[in-house]
Amino acid sequence: GQNIDQPTEMTATEGAIVQINCTYQTSGFNGLFWYQQHAGEAPTFLSYNVLDGLEEKGRFSSFLSRSKGYSYLLLKELQMKDSASYLCAISSYNQGGKLIFGQGTELSVKP
Amino acid sequence: GAVVSQHPSRVICKSGTSVKIECRSLDFQATTMFWYRQFPKQSLMLMATSNEGSKATYEQGVEKDKFLINHASLTLSTLTVTSAHPEDSSFYICSARAASGGLGELFFGEGSRLTVL
């Protein structure tokens, strides 16, 4: 089966940097996704990693280590609007392309 | 980017009635769409995979007779919650990939919040 683990809650200060970790176990790994979800809204895509290394996109970066089953999402220059739930999700070859989501990390950005 | 539209965004119904939720891919064709359910303060739980022209594939524990899925065209999938009960109240979200082969990002609809009285 598949297992995804990420912290339930995190708190950070405006302007700071925060790292949200995600560990996973699966067979036939086919990619790891990060999504942002504000309360009451649908998730929005942040990043996609399929190879090891760091993917940078503006203030957001995502890292993947397939051998360790580990990823992190790095948010720089935090803004109040970054307060949201951050969802780690994995795709596997043997799962027909569907995404399985972790529990999500609720990030609170304080002034 | 690719757009997925979901309707209605909010629906309130009486217990025992049925509710249909539509999911459309507006600028791409989607042979596969996915239906998720999300309860408050919880993550997205995959309910079923909707396959164009064939039967949906349901996840373990999801009642296929209660949650009817129809994927009649490459741009439309529908989820019908039959004989809804208060415990079915939830946020239902559909998603689709623009690329074939199961790769690439998954685009989500806006979600449909169902409240069963």
Question: pLDDT tens digit string along B56-101?
Answer: 999 999 999 999 999 888 899 999 999 999 999 999 999 987 655 5
What is the model's pLDDT at position B104?
62
pLDDT of residue A97: 72
- Residue A108 has what pLDDT? 97
- Residue B40, pLDDT above cutoff 90: no
Residue B105 has pLDDT above 80, yes or no: no
Can you tell me the mean pLDDT for A15-38?
Answer: 94
Q: Alpha-carbon distance B82 to A79, whole Å?
A: 43
Nearest CB partner across the interface for B43, out of A40, A87, A98? A87
Whether A11 shows a pLDDT value over 70: the answer reads yes
- Chain B interface mutation, best of A38, A98, A100, highest count of B Cβ atoms under 10 Å: A98
Percent of chain A's residues with pLDDT above 70: 100
pLDDT of residue A72: 98
State how far the alpha carbon of A70 is from the alpha carbons of A26, A39, B117, in Å.
11, 26, 43
**Once rounded to an integer, what is the mean pLDDT over residues A12-22?**
97
Q: What is the pLDDT of residue B29?
A: 86
pLDDT digits (tens, 9 = 90+) for A35-55: 999 988 889 989 999 999 999
Quick: pLDDT tens for A62-76: 999 999 999 999 999
Interface test with B, best of A22, A29, A92, A99 (most B CBs within 10 A): A99
For residue A81, give the 3-state DSSP assignment: helix
B43 versus A74: the higher-pLDDT residue is: A74
Give the pLDDT of residue A74. 98
Q: Which of A10-24, A26-40, B11-25, B101-115 is the least confident region?
A: B101-115
Taking the C-alpha atoms of residue B48 and residue B79, their distance in angstroms, rounded to an integer, is 10
As a whole number of angstroms, the distance between CA B67 and CA B70 comes to 10
Between the alpha carbon of residue A29 and those of residues A72, A104, B60, B102, the distances in Å are: 16, 20, 21, 12
C-beta atoms surrounding B47 within 10 Å: 24
Q: What is the pLDDT of residue B100?
A: 57
Cβ atoms of B48 and B41 within 8 Å: the answer is: no
Select from A45, A48, A96 the Cβ nearest to the Cβ of B49.
A96
pLDDT of A35 reads 94
